Every structure is written in structure tokens, then in C-alpha cells.
Amino acid sequence: MSFERLGLSAAILRAVAEQGYSTPTPVQRAAIPAVLRGHDLMAGAQTGTGKTAGFALPILHRLAERATRGPRRIRCVVLAPTRELAAQVEQSFRDYGIYVPLKSTAIFGGVSPGPQINTLRRGVDILVATPGRLLDHVNQRNVDLSAVEILVLDEADRMLDMGFVRDVRRILKALPTKRQSLLFSATFSIAIKRLADEFLHAPEHIEMAHNNRPIELVSQRIHPVDKARKRELLSWLIGSQNWRQVLVFTRTKHGANRLARQLETDGLNTAVIHGNKSQGARTRALEAFKAGKVRVLVATDIAARGLDINQLPHVVNYELPNVPEDYVHRIGRTGRAGRVGEAISLVCNEEKTYLADIERLLKRELPKVAIEGYEPTVAQNPVKPAHNHHGHAKLQDSPAPMRSRRGKRHHNRRRNAGGGRAQEPSIL
């Protein structure tokens, strides 16, 4: 199936071709015709599935097809939970809409509202926004939403997790009731279904077969380790495996800062993004990471939401998330758009219940590989060495061109102790 068969205009197909997309992804195959038909939509799709183009392409088509006269008015609103996601979604509208005469802008908190007000006054067709900042503009009458034809709630589950539901409801009140509404969510809780019942009208449902499961192309592995030795193990893995670009998740902002400082001390070029960082600092960190100037990006869940890094090969859960769905979101940062990725979790005894929740959600056990020299000491039972394990061979054979002095010391110590053997763990 090609994009040409989905009913999109030549101007949009040209932009899609320039993006290098040849075949629509499953969510695009399902969503594009439904949106073109003008239906409301409830779509289960996680990031990395191509869902953004799934709504942006048909929206651009519909808005361009029914051009309006007079000054530009906002005809489409996309609500996204984070600044990064809002910026990325808006960039997608620009990329896909390069040959149609529509203007878009993104508005979010953390930056001065002045330039946003000016852009809104000059007129835009498509507004991508985080709920809080949009509501501020609505309340201050900087923005007129009375001509909105299409509303999208992107990553709706995350929007609810982040406590935006009241803001979303208030924004809904400022929109015309006659409109097309689309809801995208990686997971469907009762709260999401309730919200969907409130604002979708006879929606078409799209549920990808593995809705709550990470993309099959991500290989996942657990390394059991004591909490106090996680940082050492992480530095060692990065150095010995020669990972050049790795996204590391921590649970807290404070933990992210601390880990980044320690990795820097270990000689690893590291940047941090979390909710307390200014927008400028986040953008700089992300750019440096994408450009390969920074090797490790440490992030909290909220800040990493919506990050789209092409060919990101490694994601590490330095700490497991306490919300199991976040695990799916995190590892969805790698293995995107058909590429192979690796997601590794460093799991200590204290996180056993989080791991159990994640495995329940995934409906399978994740492979556990203890790294010799870093085996957990807590509640340890005798262990059987793993044979022919993927992690085993790799850990022994990989070159270690970049290793910090501390990393080297640990590595040597490990080698003396038997050297990088992977073992089946017993504690988890």
C-alpha cells in the first residue's frame, strides 16, 4: 500500500516523499482515511508508530481543500502534554505542509508569552499547544478559538497523568461544538474513555494489535544490580559497549542532575533535561545530543515525552518507572520507524514490584542478565551462568575505546574477577 492510495493531495504527497517515507505505517493506513472522511477518531497508538503524520497529513489536506477567505483564523488546535512534543508536532505540520498555504505555530509555557501573542495576532491556521499556556491565552483573550474545525488531543493518557484534564475541559468549552475531534493515546484507561465519551462524537476506533506493547524491534533486557552500583555499571556499559548515543531515564529531576554530574566525572559527556530546565536549556541539550556532541542524555519521563531522535540506538532505564505505561513510552524512544533499538533496565531489589507491574502490562517476562562483577548482593541465591546469551558474548567481545579512568578501574577489577560474564539472576 502506498501513500498515493490514501486520497491525499499532490502537494501533501510531494512533501511526504521529500521526508523519505515510502509506505504508510499501520496507524497511518487506518487513521488517514478516517480523518479524511471527517469522522471523529479514537486511536490507540504510541509514539514511534508514525501517529503524528497519521493526523497531520489528513488535517493539512482537509484544511487546504476548504480554504477560507479573509484573515487567517485558527482552524485546527492540537493539544500536547509537553513543550517538546508540541514543538515536534508543529515542526511535522511545517514539514508536511510545505506545499500548502497554511500557517502553524506552537505555543507552550516556559517562554515569554509576548512573541506568541504577536504570532497569534498575525494569524495562524494550525495551533499546537500545551494546555496550560493555551488556557492562559484564552483567559486573556489573546486567542480566538471560535473558528476551530478540528481538535486533536495527542498523547491524551499523558495529558491526564500530568493533571491537565481540567485545563483540557476548559479549552473544550472555548471551542465550537460542531467540529471534528481526534484523540490519540498509547493506553486506554477508564479516565481516557470517559474523556473520549465527553468530547468525541460517534468516533471510529483504531487499535493497533499490540496497543500496550513496545515496538517489536526494541530488544529489551534487565540487568539486576545493587542500587548503589548502578552508576558504575552504567558507566561501564557505555564505555565497554562503546555506546555513542544513549538516553538514560531517572525517576526524579534531582536524581537526573546527580547522575549527570557523576557521569561527567566518569568522563562521559552528559546533558540533562527535566521539567525545571528552561526551554532554552532543554533545546540546547537536545540539539547537542542529536548532533553527537553529547553522548549521554539523562531525562525524566515528562521531559522525554515526545522526543524524536532519529536512530536512537540505546535507551537505559536507570530507575524503573512506577507507572508501567511509562516503561512503554520510554522504550518507544528507540526502535522508531522500523529501526532496531535496545532498551536496558538496571533493576535493583527495591524495584521488584515495578518490574512485576511492567511485565504484567507487557504480558511477558523480560530477559534478565546479571553482569559478572555487578551481580546483586541483596537476597542472592546461587546463580546458573547463562550460556550463549546475547549479552554474554557482546559484553566480553566488545572493544572499549572510550573508558573513563574510573570505568577502567572497574573494568579491570571485573576482568580480574572473571570478565564480563552474563549470568541468570536470582533476585528478580
**90, 106 contact by CB (below 8 A):** yes
Q: Is 155 in the site for ligand AMP (CB under 6 A)?
A: no
With cell 473558528, the residue in question is: 147
Q: Which is nearer to ligand AMP, 52 or 300 (CB)?
A: 52
The amino acid present at 407, given as its one-letter code, is: G
Number of alpha carbons in the 13 Å side-chain half-sphere of residue 32: 27
CB of 247 to ligand AMP, least distance (A): 15
Give every CB contact of residue 275 below 8 A, 6+ residues apart in sequence: 253, 300, 302, 303
Q: Hey, which residues between 49 and 78 contact ligand AMP (CB under 6 A)? A: 49-53
Q: Is 341 in the site for ligand AMP (CB under 6 A)?
A: no
Instruction: Transcribe 240-281 into DSSP letters.
Output: HTT-SSEEEE-SSHHHHHHHHHHHHHTT--EEEE-TTS-HHH
CB of 5 to ligand AMP, least distance (A): 13
**67, 14 contact by CB (below 8 A):** no
CB of 323 to ligand AMP, least distance (A): 20
DSSP-derived 3-state class of residue 257: helix
Q: Which is nearer to ligand AMP, 308 or 325 (CB)?
A: 308
CB of 22 to ligand AMP, least distance (A): 7
Q: Is 214 in the site for ligand AMP (CB under 6 A)?
A: no
> What is the b/e burial string over 294-304, where b = at least 16 CB atoms within 10 angstroms of the residue's CB?
bbbbbbbbbbb
Angle between helices 113-122 and 131-139 (to 10 degrees): 70
Count, residues near ligand AMP per rule CB under 6 A:
16
Q: What CA–CA distance (Å, rounded) separates 130 from 234?
A: 34
Q: Is 336 in the site for ligand AMP (CB under 6 A)?
A: yes
Q: Is 270 in the site for ligand AMP (CB under 6 A)?
A: no
Q: Hey, which residues between 5 and 24 contact ligand AMP (CB under 6 A)? A: 21, 23-24
Q: Is 40 in the site for ligand AMP (CB under 6 A)?
A: no
DSSP 360: H
Dihedral pair phi/psi, residue 350, rounded to 5°? -65, -15
CB of 217 to ligand AMP, least distance (A): 12
Q: Which residues are bridge partners to 299 per DSSP?
A: 249, 273
CB of 51 to ligand AMP, least distance (A): 5
With cell 481538535, the residue in question is: 151
Q: Is 96 in the site for ligand AMP (CB under 6 A)?
A: no
> What is the b/e burial string over 72-108, where b = at least 16 CB atoms within 10 angstroms of the residue's CB?
eebbbbbbbbbbbbbbbbbebbbebbeebebebbbbb
What is the contact mask toward ligand AMP in residues 349 to 388, using x (rule: CB under 6 A)?
A: ----------------------------------------
Q: Is 334 in the site for ligand AMP (CB under 6 A)?
A: no
CB of 308 to ligand AMP, least distance (A): 5
Q: Which is nearer to ligand AMP, 21 or 249 (CB)?
A: 21
Q: Is 48 in the site for ligand AMP (CB under 6 A)?
A: yes
Select from 25, 181, 185, 220 the one that contacts ligand AMP (CB under 6 A): 25
Q: What CA–CA distance (Å, rounded) separates 135 from 104?
A: 18
Q: Hey, which residues between 306 and 325 contact ligand AMP (CB under 6 A)? A: 308, 310
Q: Is 179 in the site for ligand AMP (CB under 6 A)?
A: no
Neighbours of 256 (CB within 10 A): 27
CB of 305 to ligand AMP, least distance (A): 11
Q: Which is nearer to ligand AMP, 343 or 386 (CB)?
A: 343
Q: Which is nearer to ligand AMP, 18 or 198 (CB)?
A: 18
Q: What CA–CA distance (Å, rounded) separates 258 from 252?
A: 10
Q: Which is nearer to ligand AMP, 268 or 273 (CB)?
A: 273
Question: From residue 292, how far is each of 236, 256, 270, 309, 408 by CA, in Å?
Answer: 19, 20, 11, 11, 23
Q: Is 80 in the site for ligand AMP (CB under 6 A)?
A: no
Q: What CA–CA distance (Å, rounded) separates 37 from 50?
A: 20
Q: Which is nearer to ligand AMP, 50 or 239 (CB)?
A: 50
Q: Is 184 in the site for ligand AMP (CB under 6 A)?
A: no
**58, 32 contact by CB (below 8 A):** yes
**Chain residues in the site for ligand AMP (CB under 6 A):** 21, 23-25, 28, 47-53, 308, 310, 336-337
